[in-house]
Structure 1
Amino acid sequence: MATLIRVTGDWTLAEDCAQEALVQALQRWPAEGVPANPAGWLMTVARNRATDVLRRAAVERRKLHELAAYPPAVADPGAPDGEEEVVDDRLRLIFTCCHPALALEARVALTLRTICGIPTADIARAFLVSESTMTRRLTRAKTKIADARIPYRVPSGPALAERLPGVLAVLYLLFTRGYDTDGEPAFADEAIRLVRLLDALMPGESEISALLALFLFQHSRRAARRDAGGDLVPLDRQDRARWDHAAIAEGRAVLGRVREDGPYALQARIAATHAAATSVETTDWPAIAAWYDALAARTPSPVVALNRAVAHGYAYGPAAGLALLAEARAGGALDGYPLALAAEADLTARGGDRERAAALFRRAAARTHAEPERRALLDRAADLDP
């Protein structure tokens, strides 16, 4: 797909020709056998189909010339010959899908559809819209790329430094879409796969490695976040034996390569500190509070302020956490936010006021839209009721 988009300059044509090549493979390979170079076979069939379409449509001579000049067979992507070209095309496609001229939601959807191959219906469900609506959004995004003549390339020099955070933000949001309590788990898997690819294609970029480490630490807890009945299990009640310790070990190794403490590195260090503990009680909360102090100074936001308050509450006592939480809410950005109410409830309970804490947990449950999260909050309230 990435190579066909580069060669034809037409996203829809590239998608159609790639699909037709796959259909021919499904029809012919069972009878004729799988060719020695399957990737080359598919590329040749797709390229020939694109050439026919462009010739019949009498499209620009330049595009036709590019196709005619393209070699008839493409080397296996796993072989040394042709590997650099495949790598470059994948990078180009990632940076094009994540171009800042597109709205963030469109970037995520286009990444899911074009790079990950997620069906449009599944993307629509994740974004809570109809399949036809998502199809139109994807079409508009591709049209904008064509009409705005967004270059199909990886930026270089200062432009790369400017664009890379936007690409990482898309991958971060993609992971979050899969990691949330009501998210699509496959999206988190795809985010990890893509950041692995980016880490391999752009070695030495500290924040890419940091983002990969963060994903690995967070994803290691997935199996322990739900009980047998599908209910959400909070961090302090999770069975840590069910955490993916191989992923944690890989996360530590990746984080060991990070030499700069950017926003993702700071979050990864927080996650690594959680992963190193055997329980909430043995967690190095002062270290986590210090990392959150650094993160709040680097990238201040209401959610960071909320998490910082919780960390200080565990490190230095509930009163310290409630004081920082009150500061975080002063601007009104956290008004009605269920996790802010849940954090206040937890700190209040730890301070000894069980009745008020139970009422706060119930208020948080009333404001959340995720059913597993709502049940977990009501369970906490029930535990605190006299």
Structure 2
Amino acid sequence: MAVIPVELAGRGYEVRVGNRLLADLAAQARPFLRKRHACIVADANARRHWGEAVGNSLSAAGIEPRWYDVAPGETSKSWDSLARLTDWLLDQGVERGDHVFALGGGVVGDLTGFACAILKRGCGFVQLPTTLLAQVDSSVGGKTAINTAAGKNLIGAFHQPSLVLADLGTLGTLPERELRAGYAEVLKYGVLGDRGFFDWLEQDGRTVVALDPAATERAVAASVAAKARIVAEDERETSGARALLNLGHTFGHALEAETGFSDRLLHGEGVALGMVLAARYSARRGEISLADAQRVTAAVDAAGLPAEISALGLECDGRRLADHMLHDKKMDAGTLPFILLRAIGEAYLARDVEMTDIAAFLDEQLQAH
């Protein structure tokens, strides 16, 4: 088992990466189980696969599991879902000193974390991520949010978990497409800040997607460690360091919005294509070599992820995609910073990007290939 500390002033926590962590939940999370029952908010699919292991562990320790099921998919990150969940947690008598458990992917983690951030002005929660995407990204760092008609993750709060248990055994139940979408976030850490990690993934990334035990633990642990370092430096995304984690996301969110935040484009797929676009746009500006941009494209394509906008079958122009970006929560004084590349492993925050140029670039991409 790998243990990665997330160092925050006076309230750090651990991310534990290994196998059979859910079956050992009662022991792993003992400090956060102070009552004879525990509230578990679960993705319905995750509960079907892992609810028995979680429930048995708690029951054997004399703790009653109380379940709240959440429908899979982004539509559960809504005002209505938040209201129903907070009402249920209040009915269960959750107190500020209690911890709620979130079992599932990023949707459940975001929804539960935000509910815990606002419930009685803040109670604790423990992340039990069961998808690769959640294990390497959304479960770590304390960003919680819901979606609205105006855009994705625009209503939320920074609320750190008290513990993250990333059980690698859960990845074997994922559909292949979802596993590949999670791999996009693994690849992101190499592209934005660790060329050596990118080089390894370029050669052996297929072993991660194939769930080779050693390769998967290395990839997840390295990704979590990279995010933990950035979060410790810039917890609330005020200095610019944490913004680097948004590599691929500004382009990706625009594509997700255009496809209706639906299964036409999973979040990780949007990030993958967004990284390709960020690399190509960086090359267009003369800041990254064309060869490096092509390596990013090839790594995304080799993972079975979308590397061309044409694969999405969109019926829009570059201006429409650029307009989606104007709803981005990173807008600052009317401008939108972009995460671009000077090289593989060297991302930076660009504040001089003109949206008209982005629209023109996207028109070129839409018309190519």
With the length of structure 1 as denominator, give the TM-score of the two structures: 0.32
1 or 2, which has the higher helix percentage?
1
Which has the bigger relative contact order, CA under 8 A and spacing at least 6?
A: 2
With the length of structure 2 as denominator, give the TM-score of the two structures: 0.33
